[in-house]
Amino acid sequence: MTFFDFLSIVVGVLLLVIAFLAINSKKLINSVLFLSALSMLAVVAFVLMKAPDVAITEAVIGSGLVTSLFVFTLLSVREEKLK
Amino acid sequence: MRKLFGLAITFALGLVIILALNNTVNFPAFGEVNLSERISGAYLSEDNVEEVGSANLVTSIVIGFRTFDTLGEVTVLFISSLGVAFILGRKKQKRMNLNFKPNFMLRVGSNILLAIILVTSFYIILHGHLSPGGGFPGGAMIASSVLLLYLADDRFRSNIKGFKLLEGFAGSLFVIIGLLGLVFATAFFANYLPTGTIGNFLSAGIIPIIYVLIGLKVGSEIAGIIDNFLTEEERA
Amino acid sequence: MIQYASIFLFVLGLYGLFINKNVIKLIVSLNVMEIGLFIFIISIGYVGDNAIAPIISNTQDLGLIYVDPLPQALVLTAIVIGVGTTALALAIAKSIYNTYQTFDLDEMEESA
Amino acid sequence: MTILSYIFLIIGALFFLLGGLGVFRMPDTFNRIQAGTKATTLGAFSIIVGVLFGSVENHLDWIPKLIIIIVFIVISNPVGSSTIAKATYRSKNIPDNLIQDDLKERGEKQ
């Protein structure tokens, strides 16, 4: 078993566990944060498979922009509930 | 109970997909691909690489061989940002109150970080034909610097009209450069500038110019989406 | 190995689309499906452990073994489009909330 | 030069280990911020210095990029940790055994 196989097994199992948590968690904000962690793990998978361009793009977009869009949606809703 | 049943069914579906992929002749196993049988083998041949002149082969496919495809994808992004503006845009707008007063450290620190992020994003855009990166991640980094300004300053409003103007300018210049290919060469988006030697900063013909335009277009579109999400209707 | 994980990631996103009744959770499930699909398409182009990333420094390097650059080029643009579609879906979710005051599909049906 | 770079890399890895251990072991949020940012700032700093010493011989063009990364980490880590600390204070999740509360004396509301 090579080092690549070992790393890919670890990354694959973590991907599945975090995806299950993201889909099944009760609070919406936890689900969004698990989605962010999932895209960071996807960056590791892209680097493992020698795709640096895709890894940079996913790191910028998946961790920052998509998460911020989800959080802004949840924030606007919570403010309206307070009023 | 219903959840367990659904999990079992989807697990079975995954097994069926894996078995179906393993038994076909046309789908080689993971890591045992012969590139010369694929269409990518032609992209990796010496004549084609010389013709485009980009050191990053992914860039030479995105902007060199498949530019028309990229034009369509940029159009899809434009339409989705238009849809967001159509759904969320109101007449009387005010900025969403994030209920946060920035202190001195956050204000000064975010200004210095903004400069570093902008310099890095332009570096990534300009070196798209030499190193990993290019217009798409660089444009997303420009948009994330706008996001940083929104988060660090509670009064900041971006100039949304300026972004719209920049986006239209970059998009139309992108198409005009493509149309000039019909004049100076034979085809739409033909590479009519000298390509230079592979690996130099000034090489690859029209690829760096198009990538800068794509970066500006993507950045201004995503910044417009962020601005639409952070505004809400003004209550009287 | 990582190819099987990506297929199960896709299927897990499908499971999330089946069981969830919350609009935000549905969009999260769509994003999980999207990530699984990206990893699968990248894994199609992986050539072997001795291959290197498709960046050359001069034309003599073309004799080396590279991974397939075509799936990477397709995924690169698809990720950026994913942001646009996610933003559009979230905007629709926001306007759904403004109409029904809830994200839950069942409560929406009761109030209608 | 190579031995110097290895020494710095080992120091950096050690501080990363201590930072990760601190996040697990510390009792409340403020202490965890302390462990998670201060130790890892020094860790990242020494790892990059180690790479810098290692790249003097072969990769001279890496040096300006590494210096920019150092500046980025040195600015972004304290700003982020102070913002997290402020958010923790406002979320009323502060420990009971707080001896001095400067923000309350300055009239900030929780």
Contacts with B190 (C-beta within 8 Å, 6 or more apart), sequence order: B181, B182, B184
Instruction: Inspect the interface and report whether the beta carbons of D75 and B112 lie closer than 8 Å.
Output: yes
Rounded Cα gap, residues A34 and A41, in angstroms = 11
Q: Is residue D103 part of a domain?
A: no
Q: Is residue D107 part of a domain?
A: no
B13-50 pLDDT per residue, tens: 888 888 888 767 777 777 777 777 777 777 777 777 77
B104-130 pLDDT per residue, tens: 788 888 888 888 888 888 888 888 888
Three-class DSSP category at C66: strand
Indicate if the pLDDT at residue B193 is higher than 60. Answer: yes
Instruction: Inspect the interface and report whether the beta carbons of A73 and C25 lie closer than 8 Å.
Output: no
Rounded Cα gap, residues A27 and A23, in angstroms = 10
What average pLDDT does the structure give for chain B?
Answer: 80
This complex has an ipTM of 0.85
Contact predicate B137/B58, CB 8 Å: no
Which chains does chain D touch, 3 or more C-beta pairs < 8 A?
B
Rounded Cα gap, residues B182 and B184, in angstroms = 6
Domain ranges of chain B: 55-233
Beta bridge partners of B232: B94
DSSP assignment of chain B: -HHHHHHHHHHHHHHHHHHHHHT-SSSPPTT---GGGSTHHHHTSHHHHHHH--SBHHHIIIIII-HHHHHHHHHHHHHHHHHHHHHH--SSEEE--------HHHHHHHHHHHHHHHHHHHHHHHTTTTSS--HHHHHHHHHHHHHHHHHH-TT----HHHHHHHHHHHHHHHHHHHHHHHHHSSSTT---S---STTSSS-STTHHHHHHHHHHHHHHHHHHHHHHHTEEEPP-
Contacts 24+ apart (CB under 8 A), D62-71: D68/B116, D68/B119, D68/B120, D70/D45, D71/B116
CA distance A60 to chain B (A): 7
Q: Is C112 on the interface with B (CB under 8 A)?
A: no
CATH, domain range C2-111? 1.10.287.3510
Q: Is A3 left (phi over 0), alpha (psi -120 to 50) or beta?
A: alpha
Q: Which residues on chain B are in Cβ contact (under 8 Å) with D68?
A: 116, 119-120
Q: Which residues on chain B are in Cβ contact (under 8 Å) with C43?
A: 30
Q: How many structural domains is chain A composed of?
A: 1
Per-residue pLDDT of chain A (83 residues; tens, 9 = 90+): 778 888 888 888 888 899 888 888 888 888 999 999 998 988 988 888 888 888 988 888 888 888 988 988 888 876 655 54
Q: Is residue D89 part of a domain?
A: yes
Residues of the domain holding A12: 3-82
Average pLDDT of span C79-84: 87
Q: Is A5 on the interface with B (CB under 8 A)?
A: no
CA distance B147 to chain A (A): 8
Q: Out of A53, A61, A79, whose CB is closest to B132?
A: A53
What confidence category does residue C106 fall into, taking pLDDT thresholds of 50, 70 and 90?
A: confident
Contact predicate B218/B76, CB 8 Å: no
Contact predicate D27/D49, CB 8 Å: no
Domain ranges of chain C: 2-111
For a pLDDT cut of 70, what percent of chain D falls above it?
Answer: 86
Q: How many structural domains is chain D composed of?
A: 1
Q: What is the dihedral of CA B90, B93, B99, B102, to 10 degrees?
A: 130
- D near A: at least 3 beta-carbon pairs less than 8 Å apart: no
DSSP assignment of D38-66: IHHHHHHHHHHHHHHHHHHHH-GGGHHHH
Q: Is residue D55 part of a domain?
A: yes
